[in-house]
Amino acid sequence: VLRPRITAAQSLWLSLMAGVATQKAIHETCDVKCDLRWPNDLLAGKRKVCGILTEISADVERLRFAVIGIGINVNQTAFPDPIAALATSLRIESGKNWHRPALLCALLESLEAAYFQALAKDGLEKLLRESEAISTYIRGKRVHVDEAGGYEGTTQGLDEQGFLQVRTAEGLRRVLSGGVRELP
């Protein structure tokens, strides 16, 4: 349970922080490079290897607390047909069986460092730069956004709060929620 002194509107950085920290832990421990699909998925190739869910409790003025759940597909050798084309695991990607406790320790260390770094002076700005550096989805990707009836456009980076910006035929839109999927 995290209790940063921020408003609910500022809480998006928690998911981005978890994504950056998880990507780093996976890369350092398993040597699998993951792509951050804004704001809460890690992909290996085009398939999902990790999902992140941040739940918050807040009132109008402040965030009371946040809980971050991180699910990593570690040693699965196969997935059922409905998701086989969409999901992968660290074992499938690397050909190796991984020691979960070692990955967990690396993840916890990475999360702690990323959390306190994000809270430091200029930490959010650095986190946004790191998010952009590990993601091919944040800038220059043709996407479909499942928000406000759905729309298509090209990603244009993150705004100062970490929201994805997408250029459409109608102009620049800020993605507040909803899935973002690459167009073929």
pLDDT band at 177 (very low <50, low <70, confident <90, very high): confident
Q: How many whole angstroms separate alpha carbon 13 and alpha carbon 118?
A: 8
Residue 60 has pLDDT above 90, yes or no: no
List, for residues 4-42, the tens digit of each pLDDT value: 999 988 899 999 999 999 999 999 999 999 999 999 999
Predicted model pTM: 0.94
Structural domains of the chain sorted by starting position, each given as residue range(s) with its CATH number in brackets: 8-133 (3.30.930.10), 139-182 (2.30.30.100)
The tokens describing 132, both together, are 């952009």
Please give the C-alpha separations between residue 150 and each of 28, 64, 91, 115, 143, in angstroms, as whole numbers: 37, 32, 34, 33, 10
